[in-house]
Structure 1
Amino acid sequence: MKLDYMQCWNGAMALLGAHKEAILAIAGVFLFLPTLLFAQYVAPPILTGEEDGNALIAIYAAYFNDNAFAMLASNLVMGFGGLAIYFALVPSRSHTVADNLTAALKFLVIYLIANLLSGVMIMLGLMLFILPGLYLACRFVLIPVILADRQERSSIELLKQSWSLTRDSGFAILFFLLIIMVVGGIATNVLEAVTGIVVGLATGGEGWMLIVNLVAALVGTVFQLILYAVIVSIYIELSGYRQTET
């Protein structure tokens, strides 16, 4: 199937509108809250701008070592929430929030194994001048949607099915997602910068990190939901689901 960008985008917006209650409930607890707590209680590494390569490696190694548990717990919770949102968005299901959370928990280990396998290949691709890694990431981007829609119990089969569905569409998906990420990234940075300035002026230059972090977490959550919906819409287009329904 040929990827139609406009149809994918319109389909994603329709999915968000149709399932907004369920996905907002899940996202609020499993995406927004962990993001806010991590930003509030885990301080980023402090850089002066004069560090060389070795110093940067040492700084970030210490940062990851000090915050390994928080990072692991946060990513695990958000990964679970993301999978539950995929279960809420896929066209084959119409279940309650509790049902989607239960299904996500049931298939979480399979999802994590599939992500680990694809992540190894993507990392190897990134080491080969970055572009091959980005291409591989787009070929495996449908893994969570296939898992949610077809409830496939084999991690290897998930990789195979994603690879098959995205045949001849890898670069089209890459270009589409890059557009969304660049535009979304610019909008996010502008909004966060404006929030920081406003809060700084309102507090006499001291700033109020809770408000800044809250806005950043909220914007990041909305952006993540848009990406989830777009990926599901890509799956619907490439799998010919609409044609099958009609």
Structure 2
Amino acid sequence: MKFDMGRAWNDATGLIGANRELVAIIAAIFVFLPSLVMAIVAPQMVAGPTEVNPEDPMAAMTAFYSENGVWIFLLAIVQAIGSLALFALFTDRRPTVGDAIKTGAITLVPYLLAQILLVLLLAVVLGVPIGLAFAAGGPTAGALVGIIAFVLLVYVMVKFSMLAPVMVIAGVLNPAKALKTSWDVTKGNSVRLLLFYILLMLAVIVVAVVFGLVSGLLVAMLGTGAVSTMVAGALNGLIGAVWAVLIVSVLSASYRQLAGPSAAQVSDTFE
């Protein structure tokens, strides 16, 4: 089956529209509210790294992540469960909010294991050749191999972009099998998927820039106090929630198109 970008977008917006109340609840609980809470208990998370030293720009970043590592980890886990719960809403099982959250929690560990396995594979397949090229041929050879590795990395990430839908929508909780299924389901459509992702990213960047200018002006008008920090956290949460819903709906619609009708859909057709 050839991937149809227009159909994927229409299906994605249709999934959101059909489940808008449940989607709003999960996005608010797992994306918006955590960002707002972080703005209260860890306002430095919203402000980001400060006092960057031009001679050592990485020092501020290193210090920031060192000081806020626990908060970043907790936020990532909560938002990961929320994203997986959103995927569960876009299945044909028509789950409740509680069922979707339960599915997200159950899928979390296998999903993280699949991500770890993927990182290890990429480190061996792409990282080792780059290191060997630097050691044997110097910076020029290393840079050349690095460019090739980057192209391969983009290709591989497109091939595995269906990992979460495979694990939640198809219910494949075996990490290795889920990775293989994602690879197989994207066969013959990698270029179309990449183009679709690029177009979507460009559109999101344009909207984000405009929204960022307006929200930045609002926050600047409020000064640097607690109210300003909370508003900034709320705006970050809103942007994050919209982005999470958009990405999950697009990936869900893309997977459903590539995988074909589910058993539930086929059953409904003949009932």
| Range of TM-score over shorter length | 0.7 to 0.9
Normalising by the residue count of structure 1, what TM-score does the alignment of the two structures yield?
A: 0.87
What runs of 5+ residues in structure 1 fail to find an aligned partner?
none
Sort the Cα spacing of 1:59 and 1:156 in 2 relative to 1 into closer, same or farther, 3 A.
same
User: Aligned partners of 2:237, 2:104: CA distance in 1, in Å?
Assistant: 23
Which of these two proteins has the greater Rg computed from alpha carbons? 2
- Counterpart of 2:3 in structure 1 is 3
The separation in 2 between residues aligned to 1:209 and 1:174, in whole angstroms, is: 37
Q: 1:218 matched to which residue of 2?
A: 238
Cα 1:35–1:189, aligned 2, differ >3 Å: closer, same or farther? farther
1:62-81 aligned within 5 A: 62-81=63-82
SS in 2 for 1:141: coil
Please report the RMSD computed on the Cα atoms of aligned residues, expressed in angstroms.
2.5
Could you tell me whether the CA contact under 8 Å between 2:111 and 2:173 is conserved in 1? Answer: no
Q: 1:204 to 1:86 in 2, by over 3 A?
A: closer
Paired position in structure 2 for 1:45: 49
Identity of aligned residues (%): 25
Q: Tell me which residue corresponds to 2:207.
A: 187
1:103 corresponding residue in structure 2: 103
User: Does 1:196 pair with 2:200?
Assistant: no
CA offset at residue 17 of structure 1? 0.5
Contact 1:125 1:134 in 2 (8 A): no
Give the drift of 1:154: 0.9
Query: Deviation of residue 65 (structure 1)?
Result: 1.2
State the distance in 1 between where 2:60 and 2:66 align.
10
Q: Distance in 2 between matches of 1:72 and 1:185?
A: 25
Q: Structure 1 residue 71: deviation in Å?
A: 0.8
2:38–2:233: 8 Å Cα contact kept in structure 1? no
- Distance in 2 separating the partners of 1:177 and 1:37: 31
CA distance in 2, matches of 1:8, 1:100: 22
* 1:145-180, Cα deviation, whole Å (9 max, x unpaired): 111122123110000000000112222212211211
Q: Deviations over 1:51-90 (max 9, x none)?
A: 24xx123222222111110111000010011001101112
Paired letter, 1:3: F
State the aligned residue count.
241
Cα distance between partner residues in 1 of 2:59 and 2:219: 33
**Mapped partners of 1:204, 1:95: distance in 2:** 44
**Structure 2 unaligned residues grouped into runs of 5+:** 131-145
Q: Answer whether contact 1:8 1:237 (CA < 8 A) is retained.
A: yes
Note the 1:111-150 alignment, pairs <5 A.
111-121=111-121, 128-129=146-147, 130-150=150-170
- Determine the C-alpha separation between the residues in 2 that align with 1:192 and 1:4: 31
